[in-house]
């Protein structure tokens, strides 16, 4: 008789759960916590983007006073640049979700070491440990200087 594929058990998060460095790194509960955090962040970005698009579509950018029109256009450009940054952030969130599915989320891309939980909680799309990030930034400053 062939073995059937086991479905992963659904993990239910406690509303007050906060991951710590003291528990097993990327255990099922911690993994679910970061998955929910990333999905919520992405949903918030998509919602804000939708609101901005609706606002920009309904906005009048032609005013009798050329200065008012210039200010409205400058505001519109700033809003579009902000939305473009958020679009790029959404791609990073998608990549983090893919790393979660692949089992590589939370590990430094340069050293392979676990990224501290506090860093991941503050920056869930982090791909480098603080130490690797600092070395990377020092290298950039050296090349730029």
The pair of three-digit structure tokens given for residue 9, joined into one six-digit string = 């058990």
What CATH number does the domain containing 41 carry? 1.20.120.910
- Main-chain phi, psi angles of 6, to 5 degrees: -80, 135
In a domain, 123, yes or no: yes
Q: How many independent structural domains does the chain possess? A: 2
pTM greater than 0.85 (yes/no): no
The pair of three-digit structure tokens given for residue 8, joined into one six-digit string = 């992963």
Are 47 and 80 found together in one domain? yes
Dump pLDDT digits (tens) for 91-116: 999 999 999 999 999 999 999 999 99
Cβ count near 39 (within 10 Å)? 12
pLDDT higher at 144 or 97: 97
Q: Output the average pLDDT for the chain.
A: 87
Domain around 137:
107-145
In a domain, 93, yes or no: yes
**Is 90 exceeded by the pLDDT of residue 17?**
yes
Cβ count near 41 (within 10 Å)? 16
In a domain, 5, yes or no: no
Are 95 and 45 found together in one domain? yes
pLDDT higher at 93 or 79: 93
In a domain, 12, yes or no: no
User: Cα–Cα distance between 36 and 42 in angstroms, integer?
Assistant: 10
pLDDT score of 26: 96
pLDDT band at 8; cut points 50, 70, 90? low
pLDDT band at 35; cut points 50, 70, 90? very high
Are 99 and 36 found together in one domain? yes
Are 145 and 84 found together in one domain? no
User: Cα–Cα distance between 19 and 78 in angstroms, integer?
Assistant: 36
């Amino acid at each position: 008789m062939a073995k059937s594929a086991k479905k992963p058990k659904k993990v239910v998060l406690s509303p007050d759960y906060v991951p710590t460095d003291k528990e097993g790194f990327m255990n099922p509960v911690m993994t679910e916590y970061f998955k929910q955090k990333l999905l919520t962040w992405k949903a918030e970005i998509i919602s804000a983007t939708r609101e901005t698009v609706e606002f920009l579509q309904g906005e009048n950018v032609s005013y009798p006073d050329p200065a008012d029109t210039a200010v409205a256009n400058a505001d519109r450009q700033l809003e579009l640049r902000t939305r473009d940054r958020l679009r790029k952030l959404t791609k990073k969130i998608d990549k983090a979700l893919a790393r979660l599915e692949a089992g590589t989320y939370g590990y430094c891309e340069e050293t392979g070491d676990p990224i501290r939980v506090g860093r991941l909680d503050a920056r869930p799309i982090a791909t480098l440990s603080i130490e690797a990030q600092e070395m990377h930034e020092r290298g950039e400053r050296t090349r730029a200087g």
